[in-house]
């Protein structure tokens, strides 16, 4: 079945370390997105990519970086510059940059800084 796979499901990081969250999709979708979710704050957009080798900052990009070298993959790196990285991270994809079909979401990665 087609879908989005996020790994790992749980991730622990020491302060000062970079960590990379994986997002892979086999839906042949052009666009991919990273969201951060904190209790009571809904979903906040970190980065998005509408096509391979191109991506744009979202509302809270500081302390994060991404790459889009392959259509199927959109990894997110949480750098040591992110002051409060503990959160639930969601990856999503859509057929294209339009809104006709909505987004398909992965099951998320919970990152905890220890």
Pairwise CA distance, residues 78 & 69, whole Å: 18
Task: Report the first-to-last Cα separation within the chain, whole angstroms.
Answer: 36
In the shown chain, the binding pattern of residues 29 to 68 toward another protein, with x for contact by CB under 8 A and - for none, equals ----x------xxxx-x--x-x-------x----------
Of 16-24, 65-73, 74-82, 87-95, the window that binds another protein (rule: CB under 8 A) is 87-95
Pairwise CA distance, residues 65 & 67, whole Å: 7
Write down the least CB distance from residue 13 to another protein, Å: 19
Q: Which of 21, 72, 106, 111 is the binder for another protein (CB under 8 A)?
A: 106
Pairwise CA distance, residues 107 & 102, whole Å: 16
Pairwise CA distance, residues 69 & 55, whole Å: 10
Is residue 84 involved in binding another protein (CB under 8 A)?
no
Tell me how far apart the 2 most distant CA atoms of the chain are, in Å: 41
Q: Which of 15, 84, 99, 114 is the binder for another protein (CB under 8 A)?
A: 99
**Binding stretches for another protein (CB under 8 A):** 4, 6, 33, 40-43, 45, 48, 50, 58, 88, 90, 92, 97-108, 110
């Amino acid at each position: 079945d087609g879908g989005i796979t996020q790994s790992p499901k749980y991730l622990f990081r020491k302060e000062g370390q970079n960590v990379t969250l994986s997002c892979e999709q086999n839906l042949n979708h052009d666009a991919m997105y990273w969201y951060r979710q904190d209790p009571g704050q809904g979903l906040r957009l970190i980065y998005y990519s509408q096509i391979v080798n191109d991506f744009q900052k979202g509302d809270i990009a500081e302390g994060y970086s991404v790459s889009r070298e392959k259509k199927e993959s959109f990894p997110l790196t949480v750098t040591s510059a992110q002051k409060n990285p503990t959160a639930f991270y969601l990856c999503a994809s859509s057929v294209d940059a339009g809104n006709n079909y909505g987004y398909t979401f992965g099951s998320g990665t919970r990152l905890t800084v220890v």
